[in-house]
Every structure is written in structure tokens, then in C-alpha cells.
Amino acid sequence: MNTAMPIESPEPLREERVPKNYITESRTLKSWLFTTDHKRIGILYLFSILFYFIIAAIAAALMRMELITPAGDMVTSETYNKLFTIHGTLMVWFFLIPSIPAVLGNFVLPMMLGARDVAFPKLNLLSWYLFNAGGLLAVYAVTFGGVDTGWTFYTPYSSTFSNSHVVEMAAGVFVAGFGTILTGLNFIITTHKLRAPGMRWFRMPLFVWSLYSTSVIMILATPVLAMTLALMSIERIWGVGIFDPRLGGDPILFQHLFWFYSHPAVYIMILPGMGVMSELVTCFSRKPIFGYHFVAFASVAIAIMGFLVWGHHMFTSGQSIYAGLVFSFLSYMVAVPSAIKVFNWTMTLYRGSISFATPMLYALGFMGLFTIGGLTGLYLAAVGFDVHVQDTYFIVAHFHYIMVGGMVTAFMGGLHYWWPKITGRMYPEKLGQLAALIMYLGFNLTFFPQFILGYLGMPRRYHAYAPEFQIYNVMSSAGASILGVGYLLPLLYFLWSLKYGKKAPANPWKATGLEWQTPSPPPKHNFVETPVVTGPPYQYSAEAAEAEFTANEKGEAYG
Amino acid sequence: MADAHAALQEQFEEMPQQKEAATLGMWAFLATEVLFFGAMFMSYIVYRTTYPQAFAEASHHTIVLFGTINTAILLTSSFTVAMAVHAARQNNIKWLFRLLAITVFFGLAFLAVKGLEYHEDLNENLWPGPHFKSELPPQAQIFWILYWIMTGVHAVHVTVGVVLLSIMAWMTSRRKFSDAYYTPIEISALYWHFVDIIWIYLYPLLYLIHRYSA
């Protein structure tokens, strides 16, 4: 792909003259807390989101335990309300939204472009502090008193009736939102202004295209959420009627404003995953991506059209039927670019030289799960069917197929793929494959029964249910425990690999892309000298890979 | 030689690139700001369409004199900050400092007038809630809470702008800027213009509804 291969190999002096990388460059805690290095900030985000993920996952585990029996016998309904609020708010704003963009994006975006850092490194660090300030506020709200509104904060319940820490939670989301905005802003400017010589727009990896589209959503949608939550909090604090029907206010307006952010936010939570997919599928099929331009523009199209479909969350909440029809039609339209991507990945696999390394297992899992999640999304875009399953487990299953089956799977795939670059160590491959498989099975067992539950009419957000639903709920809870093992395993072997993992070469996957042309882990400014790009991305050759494979039948290519 | 400028940060290759990045960054941030205010403007539009009569009545209680004075102050300050950028371009550091100081003064004057106005509004019981002015229809409370929030958030932005321009003035006095490097001045001015533009929309929407029929 590139002419410049700036991998420095200093003379093999027998002394320990290992060149410093971004980790060994300085080892004090202060050097981490005040770092402006995008790679270190990515790591800081990784630890932070892990913290919020664990809290939110515990809430999910408690909910699944409660739902094993039809009676509400483990927690009270109030506690259950607080549990699903913890799970929703923390998972959405403090895990999913920053997961791929702020961790993997921060780490690899500048390297993929051949840049030394993002455009505004100090703002990047500020993002992390804002994110955690918001996150700690949210954790404070849920630990001291709890919040029971669900992650959607619907008025007038949130603004008038709820007796919980709504304002603190809203403030947490508000503050963290500005962290997200600054991350998006940084990515946009970095992509515009810091590309290496020769890195034209259509030579950029597709992960960059998806992050760029995501960033546009971040800076245009997040401020609306911030203001909406501010309006809701003002109403709650002073009892003034912005959304209060008694004073002429309109609760539906709150829903419009909320979903004007929160539907695009769904694309913040899946577009980066799609970007990771494009990297993984090409690398492990040893083929250039099929239809590069289509995949790139599909990201942009999703970002734009994602702003026009928010009303499909409100089919049953009192918006006009004509609005419902338009939103239904537009929701069908937004499925087109998503389908383009899935078809293009599939075509990339066709006649490729496919290997089943861990990242590829996640990628293949993504394709199946995302397709189920996407197609059930089309069911929900149909007004008639949606009226039947609104607020049932069908919705819960649908968005978990996208968010967990899609985004978390892609995040795990990406984390395994770039782990050697991030840490300089290989993870244990066999265990990795095993974990990917466990996760896939556990996920399906958890969420597929919920489609049936929802179709049969079990409503979401209740801690007790009719006895005939028990069998599916038991299946779901059993699946959740398997899923839990699937998450715990990587946590353990990733930690293990930091010390005992095999040392990673600069490019363990023989992948194209500038991030692989610098040592693992990379030096502080990423490249020893600025790379020059001379061709399109993904210059893989399936034929060459096959020839190489047959040449050494022992084929220990991927450890 | 431009490459060797002390203000060049390590992630950039050269000064023009850094300047373009900073300017584009401010424009992107202003796009965020537009959407931030957008949620309020949207609420305003929805409620004004729903309750046109109540909004017109409520609007008559705004103090149009203060609003007009403030409009004049902000428009003038936009002119002075534009002249400040011009002075920087001409390498006229003395006038750069003076014009920034004048702009800061206008910003403070705006806040002072706004403070007086808020004081009057509170005396008139125009804060929504149980003590709200009783002769107004109930929906007028929505107009007034939007008035408080929109002008309040705008005033916060004016305050941020005043602080920003004060820092610029201080940096100017420390000889940080010249015609070779004045990007911070330029993007601070952009921000100030934005604050001004928001006010240009707020003024007719809040103060001038149906004034002709008064």
C-alpha cells in the first residue's frame, strides 16, 4: 500500500537499547492523567468504560435473576425500575457511545491517517475528564437514591412525579455529552486537516469514514439532548410548565426533542462498529473491500438519514398518523445503506482466503446478529406491527441485537485486532476463539427468546409477569450467565497477556493500513517519519495468501 | 521560516495547517451551538404556533427599551471585534488591544443592562410559578420561562465571550500576537459574532411580537 515503511531497526547493540514507545516513554501516574497523547487517552477511556460497564452489567444480572420466576419476589418494583435505569443510562451514555469511537477511534484514527496526534490534543484530554465527571455524577445519582425514569426521562413522570435523583442523572449526561461533542469535533478536524501526504479522501480506511460520519452526528445531535435534559431539569426544579400539560406544555414535544438526539445516537452506537467490520472482513479474507465507495457513502448516508427517522419511536404516543406514515417510510429508507454494507461485506468474503482468527469470528458473528437486528428493525418501522409490539420485549430484543450483537461484538473484534498494536502483546488465540464462540451462543440464547416473548405480548420494564412466559425468561437468564462468562474470559486473558502474552510484531495480521507500519506499541508520535500514501487502501491479495498457505502447510500464520 | 513559529504545536506540520484546523474547529463548534440553541428555538416555535395570543400578550411585558439598547450594544461590539481582527492583520498591536478592550466593555455593558432588565422583570412577577403575574393567561408562563432560559443561556455565552476576549486582550498586551500569528483572535471573534447573531434572533422573537398592534 505504501512506499514509506518507517520501521526503525537500530543496530543490534547488545545493550538494552529498546526505543521508547508511548507506554514506556514515561511511567508516572501524572504522565497518564495529564497526557495529551491520543493513544494514552484511548487507554484511559478503555478503563473508564470498563468501570461503567461492570456496574451496568451487574444491574442487568440482577434483572435477569429477578425474571427467572414470574412473581416479583427478589426485588421490589421500585428497585427494579432503578435497576433498568442504571442499566440503560450507563450502557448507552457511558459504555456504548464512547466504546469504539473514544477507545479504538482515539487510538487508531490518527495513525490510520498518518498523523502524529489528533488536531486538538488538549481538548481530547478534556473530553475524558468531562466524560468521567458526568459518569461519576451518574454513578452518584444511582447509588445514593437511584433514578427510576428509564434512560428516556419521559415527561411528565421525570419532571413532576418521580421521587428520585433525576436532576443529578440529567446533569451527568449533560456534562458527559460535551465530552462526546469534543471527541466528535476533534475527529472531524483531524480527518480534514491532518491526513498524511497522499492520503486522499478515497484512500482513507473505511473505519475513518465511519468515525467521520459518527462525529458529525455527535456534534449535531448531542447538543439537542443537552438542552432537552436542561429544559426537563429546569421544569423539575422550579415547577415551571415547559412540558407540563396543566400549564399548556406538551409532553410529546419532549419526546420529539429527546428522540431527535436519541435516534441519531443509535447510529453513534452502530456506525463505528460497521467501520471496524470493514477493517476485519478485508484483512481476514485477504481481499480488497467490495464496493469501497458504496461502503464509504453508506456511512455518510446513514448519518444524514439517521436525523430524519426519530418519529418511529413515537408511533403510539400521540403524534399525528401522517407523521407516523412519513417516519415509517423514512425508516425503511435508512435500512438501504445498512443493507449495502452487509451485502458488500458478504461479497468481500466471496472467494476470499478466509481465516478464522478471533477478530474474524467476531466479524462473522456481527454479520449474522446485525442482520437479525436490522431486519426486525424493519418490522418495527411498519406502523401496524409496531402498535402490536410497542414497549414489549420484541423491542428489547431488537435493539440488543444491534447494540450488543452489533456494536459490542464489533468492539470485541476490534479490540482483539488492535490489541497487539495497543499493548505490544498477543492475546492467546485459542482462548480468544473460545470466548468469541461462547459470547455468540450466550447472546443468542439470551435475546432470541425475547423476540418470542415480545411477540406474545410480554411488556418491558416489569419485574413480574404472567406464568406462561416463564420458560422463555428462564432461557434468557440462562443465556445471560453464559454471556457473562463470554465477557469475563477476555477480561482475564487480556490482563494475562499484558505480562505473559507473546511479543507482537509490528504487523501480526499482515494487514494494510498505516497503523501497522509502525512498531507495536507505537512511539509517542506514532511514526518515526511521516508516511507517504501512494495507493488505495486494502491492497490484499487472496491468491498470494493461498499460495503462501500451501507453501508452508504447517501454516502457523496467526500463531 | 513560518514553520519555526513558536506557536506551532507538535501535531501540525506548518502554521497555515494549524490555522485552518483551528478555524474549522471553531466553525464545527458553532454548528454544535446552533443545535444547542436549536432545541430552545424549536420549543419556542411549537408553543408560539399553538398559543399565538398568549405569546403576543406575554411579549408586551418585555421591556423593549432595554432590549433595543442591548441590540445596539451587541451590534456595535461585533463591529469593534471585526476591527480588532483587521488591526491584527495590519500588525497594529496598539489598536488590537484597544479594540479588544472596547469589545469587552460592550460585553460587560450588555450584561449590566440585562441585569437591570432581569431586576425589573422580577419586580413585575414575570418569573413563572405560583406568583406569576395573574392577569396573564396561563400559557404566558411558557413564553416567560422560554424568555428566561433563552436570554439566560445567551447571557452565559456573552460571559464566556467576555472572558475569552479579556484573555485575548491580556495576551495581546504580552505581545503574543502579530500579523504572522493571530488565529486565537480570529476564532474568538468568530465566537463573538455567533453570540451576536443569536441575539439578533432573540430580540424580535421575544420583544417584538405584534408590537405594531400595541
Half-sphere CA count of B27, side-chain side, radius 13 A: 9
Higher-pLDDT residue of A558, A99: A99
The answer to whether B131 and B125 are in contact (CB under 8 A) is: yes
Q: Which three cell numbers stand for residue A555?
A: 501454516
Model pLDDT for residues B3-13, shown as the tens digit of each residue: 457 888 888 98
Q: With 60 as the cut, is the pLDDT of residue A434 above it?
A: yes
Residues 51-70 of B with CB under 8 A from A: 51, 54
In a domain, B9, yes or no: no
In a domain, A5, yes or no: no
Q: Which pLDDT does position A64 carry in this prediction? A: 97
The answer to whether B111 and B159 are in contact (CB under 8 A) is: yes
| Helices A206-238 and A271-285, packing angle to 10 deg | 160
Q: What is the pLDDT averaged over residues A39-56?
A: 97
Q: With 70 as the cut, is the pLDDT of residue A6 above it?
A: no
- For the ranges A354-363, B1-10, B154-163, the lowest mean pLDDT is seen at B1-10
- Residue B126 at interface with chain A, using a CB cutoff of 8 Å: no
- Give residue B210's pLDDT band: very low, low, confident or very high (50, 70, 90): confident
The answer to whether A67 and A129 are in contact (CB under 8 A) is: no
Residue of B34, B26, B153, B36 whose CA lies nearest to B85: B26
Average pLDDT value for chain A: 93
How far is C-alpha A226 from the geometric centre of its chain's CA atoms?
Answer: 20
Task: Report the number of distinct structural domains present in chain A.
Answer: 1
- For the ranges A24-28, A109-113, A312-316, A454-458, the lowest mean pLDDT is seen at A24-28
Radius of gyration of chain B (CA): 20
- Amino acid occupying residue A329: F
Q: What is the pLDDT averaged over residues A428-439?
A: 97
Q: What is the pLDDT averaged over residues A154-172?
A: 92
In a domain, B151, yes or no: yes
Q: Contact B43/A241, CB-based, under 8 Å?
A: no
Query: Closest Cα of chain A to B39: distance in Å?
Result: 5
- Give residue A487's pLDDT band: very low, low, confident or very high (50, 70, 90): very high
- The CA distances from residue A402 to A55, A97, A135, A493, in Å, are 21, 13, 23, 26
Q: What is the pLDDT averaged over residues A218-240?
A: 95
Q: Contact B142/A247, CB-based, under 8 Å?
A: yes
Higher-pLDDT residue of B101, B132: B101
Task: Report the number of distinct structural domains present in chain B.
Answer: 1
- Give residue B169's pLDDT band: very low, low, confident or very high (50, 70, 90): very high
- Give residue A546's pLDDT band: very low, low, confident or very high (50, 70, 90): confident
Q: Which three cell numbers stand for residue A304?
A: 444524514
CATH number of the domain to which A423 belongs = 1.20.210.10
Between B33, B39, B47, which is nearest A228 by CB?
Answer: B39
Q: Contact A247/B138, CB-based, under 8 Å?
A: yes
- The CA distances from residue B20 to A121, A203, A214, A364, B193, in Å, are 16, 22, 22, 41, 18
Between A185, A228, A525, which is nearest B25 by CB?
Answer: A185
Q: Which pLDDT does position A340 carry in this prediction? A: 97
Q: With 80 as the cut, is the pLDDT of residue A308 above it?
A: yes
Q: With 80 as the cut, is the pLDDT of residue A396 above it?
A: yes
Domain of residue A345, residue span: 29-551
Query: Closest Cα of chain A to B35: distance in Å?
Result: 6
- Give residue A240's pLDDT band: very low, low, confident or very high (50, 70, 90): confident
CATH number of the domain to which B85 belongs = 1.20.120.80
Set of chain A residues whose Cβ sits within 8 Å of the Cβ of B147:
none
Q: What is the pLDDT averaged over residues A117-146?
A: 96
Q: What is the pLDDT averaged over residues A194-219?
A: 96
Q: Contact A241/B21, CB-based, under 8 Å?
A: no
Query: Closest Cα of chain B to A166: distance in Å?
Result: 19
In a domain, A220, yes or no: yes
Q: Contact A224/B36, CB-based, under 8 Å?
A: yes
Q: What is the pLDDT averaged over residues B163-171?
A: 97
pTM of the model: 0.94
- Give residue B207's pLDDT band: very low, low, confident or very high (50, 70, 90): very high
CB atoms within 10 A of CB A337: 21
In a domain, A2, yes or no: no
Set of chain B residues whose Cβ sits within 8 Å of the Cβ of A241:
128, 138, 141-142, 145
Q: With 60 as the cut, is the pLDDT of residue A430 above it?
A: yes
Higher-pLDDT residue of A276, B131: A276
Model pLDDT for residues A273-297, shown as the tens digit of each residue: 999 999 999 999 999 999 999 999 9
In a domain, B3, yes or no: no
Q: Contact B51/A221, CB-based, under 8 Å?
A: no
- Residue found by looking up cell 417584538 in the block: B208
Between A226, A238, A249, which is nearest B129 by CB?
Answer: A238
Backbone angles phi, psi at A503, to 5 degrees: -65, 135
Q: Which pLDDT does position A171 carry in this prediction? A: 97
Between A220, A253, A525, which is nearest B43 by CB?
Answer: A253
Q: Contact A247/B10, CB-based, under 8 Å?
A: no
- Residue B125 at interface with chain A, using a CB cutoff of 8 Å: no
- Residue B25 at interface with chain A, using a CB cutoff of 8 Å: yes
Q: Which three cell numbers stand for residue B129?
A: 410559578
- Residue B41 at interface with chain A, using a CB cutoff of 8 Å: no
Q: What is the ipTM of this complex?
A: 0.94
Q: What is the pLDDT averaged over residues A528-544?
A: 91
Domain of residue B152, residue span: 40-213
Q: Contact A115/B42, CB-based, under 8 Å?
A: no
How much of chain A exceeds pLDDT 90, in percent? 87
In a domain, B124, yes or no: yes
Buried b (16+ CB within 10 A) or exposed e, B30-45: bbbbebbbbbbbbbbe
Query: How many Cβ contacts (< 8 angstroms) between chains A and B?
Result: 109
Q: What is the pLDDT averaged over residues A472-481?
A: 97
Q: Contact B25/A120, CB-based, under 8 Å?
A: yes
Phi-psi region of B131 (alpha: psi -120 to 50; beta: other; left: phi over 0): alpha
